[in-house]
Amino acid sequence: MRIIPAIDIINGKAVRLTKGNYSTEKIYNESPLKVAKEFEAAGIKYLHLVDLDGAKSQHIVNHKVLYEIASNTNLKIDFGGGLKSNEDVKIAFENGAQQITGGSIAAKNSTLFLEWLMEYGSEKIILGADCLNRKIATQGWQESSETDVIDFITDYNTKGIAYVICTDISKDGMLQGASNDLYTEIINKVDVKLIASGGVACLDDLIKLKAIGCEAAIVGKAIYENRITLNELSKLC
């Protein structure tokens, strides 16, 4: 299972939110590049980079941070947040993203999202399936819907999606364990490469996600709050 540390960006700084609530913003480092270099020095190969300003503004904002990290490390970056147009996606790839994640756009404009899938391929385009009480949430988790998360993933899987990042918003930033039951159900029902996100608090949580069959797991707050050390993560990479 791949281990993917996360860096969330607001105003060019590395921050974390709780349950996606912008009022809970906590700055962990003024320099996302410094954080990324620490990940790379520990032997980590992947990075989940989220433009929270972009998610709120509905267009890419922190592409300069993406470029800085991509230019100064060898991390393979998947980038999300605010990708709503062909130009946004072009900017993301031109600034060093290896993959991009589309969540709100997939829920609200499937025609455009599928055009990206056709143009760039299933190795480049990740489906973001963020949910609360199993219902897909959009616009930086500020809006809810009536779409069931498994129905959402299944539909896109039939259209060619291979990678899915699924975040259970109720678990995000809570450090109380991942949504193992939901992930087990997804893996049992849909043939996708599932990337688990939200709730990881300790190494045991990662071991359980691997046992379930997740292709990868994203780790954020547990690193910044020293619940999991980079040395411990490196042994799982």
Which residues are known catalytic residues?
8, 130
- Which of 188, 189, 186 minimizes the C-alpha distance to 167? 186
End-to-end CA gap in the chain? 8
Residue given tokens 């500020």 in the structure block: 142
Picking from 154, 151, 98, 145, the residue whose alpha carbon sits closest to that of residue 126 is: 98
Q: How long, in residues, is the chain?
A: 237
Mutual angle of helices 180-189 and 203-212, in 10-degree steps: 20
SS3 call for 185: helix
The owner of tokens 């385009």 is 125
Minimal CA–CA distance to 54: which of 31, 33, 85, 75? 85
Residue 198: CA count within 13 A, CB half-sphere: 22
CB-based contacts of 30, cutoff 8 Å, min separation 6: 13, 14
Contacts of 217 (CB under 8 A, 6+ apart): 1, 2, 3, 4, 178, 195, 196, 197, 200, 206, 209, 210
